[in-house]
Amino acid sequence: MAHSDQTVYRRSTPVVTSWYDPESDENISEAIVEAIANAEGVCETEVASMYETIDLDAVNRLFASYGKSSDSVLLNFNFENWDVFVRADGRIRVCDTARVTDPEPVFQDSAV
């Protein structure tokens, strides 16, 4: 996790940037799976099961405990060839670890 006064850097190429609405009925884990599916170009049901790698229930509980206005909470994990960044304000960025880049702030821009 990082605080808003700290910059977190990525070394992989962003493929998908999406937003999760904490006010919606959707769980953050569903939004993460959807973002990974978009990065892979497949349906959500075609994404490999994350439960062996990531405790999605814990992710849901973590982000449920923070308000939408908090951008100081950042979760980062690797899943297959994806580097996934999730911010408590609802921003999700999926980067391709096979496409290495010079270090850049994770959420520096709104491209992709």
* pLDDT the model gives residue 33: 94
**C-alpha–C-alpha distance, residues 62 and 20, integer Å:** 14
The band of 37, judged by pLDDT with boundaries at 50, 70 and 90, is: very high
Residue with tokens 């509980």: 61
Enter the DSSP assignment of 64: H
Tell me the H-state helices in 65-107: none
Per-residue pLDDT, averaged over 61-81, amounts to 80
CB 94 within 8 A of CB 106: no
CB 36 within 8 A of CB 18: no
Whole-structure pTM value = 0.84
Of these ranges, 49-53, 67-71, 73-77, 80-84, the one predicted with the greatest mean pLDDT is: 80-84
